[in-house]
Amino acid sequence: MMTTEAGPRIAILGGGIGGLAAAAFLRDKGFHSDVYEQAPALTEVGAGLVIAPNAARLLRRLGVLDRFVERAVQMEIGWEFRRWENGAVLSAENLQDGCKRLYGEHTYTAHRADLLNALRSAVPEHSLHLGRRCVSVEFEGDQAVLRFEDGDTVRPDILIGADGVHSRVRSAIVGPAQTRESGICAFRALVPARKAPEFARRHAQTLWIGPDRHLVHYPVSGGEYVNLVAFAPAGASSVESWTATATLEELLDEFDGWDPRLVELIRSADTPGRWALLDREPLDHWNRGNATLLGDAAHPMFPFFAQGAAQAIEDGAVLALCLAKDPDSPSAALGRYEDLRRHRTARLQQVSHGRSHINHLPDGPEQQARDLAYSQDDPLRANGWIYDYDPEVAVSAAV
């Protein structure tokens, strides 16, 4: 194996949340990595996200949580389910007290750019290579080879594919992605807080659920904006892209007849983005030779458990720990990383998928039974298997 003085040459394709998290955790364990990002600047598209205790704990270990919370919003209420037609509260969780007591950290909401900036602060500037568009990933035996638009070729000792749902590394490892249409599209938008109704400015993660649709909102950017994410039946014009847009009228049409307060909130939004949710089965494997995957490249999941970013951060932590345990045998380290992560992320893919049916039930007996169950559930404790996860414990137990 060819190495530098600092260890194996590690290339990370993709400078989003997963790629930067991996680079930060690798640096924390004494490894240098090179992050190749096709965009000329690290500007995260999209809008808001939730950082639950399992991810907040890892941001603290990286030493970036304080920076993150400068712009993040600490949640006081979560899993606040409301009925579509009148806003009746079906259930709500006290996150202000419960998260810290049960899991040692709070739950936060934030704009994606603020999380990206916090992670970037833990990665040296010389590790970031912007404006580097990869045009192919091929294997020469067990050696992954990256070829870039500028003609450069990179042959790393370890390749980490953090290049999202349309990952070139994933295609090279497992072949073209097998996808099917989910029948659901998502809208995302931001509302300036000064225009938002008071109920939407609360430090609460609120989910309005109704027939075939649901809408989530919470404050981001230090409370300057309210983030909206809405889900509705997919139309023929929906594509899987963070940059596609809809009109505000189209979004309003989807929620015509819903509680007037929610309609007022939507009406104050900026131009919404719109993308289709494609359905992907969990992978049987995501390693090949000296290459592996993380984040959406490995396990894209429906956003209904708000764990996409958190799982990418966990991936980076576990991968770095596995390499630190076995730095002279990267193939064994990558194998251990895949074994540790694949089953957990597959379970989250599956439960997130199931939520799409539960949240969109038509009014009737099944919906009434769901609402009753929500009123009796304690999701903060029920999701302990998600929030309690500790990468260091997982890796130590596997060695």
Q: Residue 164, SS3? A: coil
Q: Rounded to an integer, what distance in angstroms lies between the CA atom of residue 374 and that of residue 249?
A: 32
Residue with token string 């833990």 = 122
Helix axes of 330-358 and 308-325: crossing angle, nearest 10 degrees: 160
Residue with token string 């290049």 = 163
Structure token pair of residue 361: 């039930």
Q: Is 108 a catalytic residue?
A: no
368-to-188, 351, 359, 375 alpha-carbon distances in Å: 28, 21, 12, 11
List the beta strands (DSSP E) in 268-384: 273-280, 291-293
**Exactly one of 103, 108, 218, 225 is catalytic; which is it?**
218
Q: Parallel, antiparallel, or unpaired: how do β-strands 143-148 and 153-154 relate? A: antiparallel
Q: Rounded to an integer, what distance in angstroms lies between the CA atom of residue 316 and that of residue 212?
A: 35
Structure token pair of residue 229: 């994410």
Angle at 153 between CA 320 and CA 322, to 5 degrees: 10
Position 348, amino acid: L
Q: Parallel, antiparallel, or unpaired: how do β-strands 225-233 and 179-192 relate? A: antiparallel
Residues carrying an active site annotation: 218
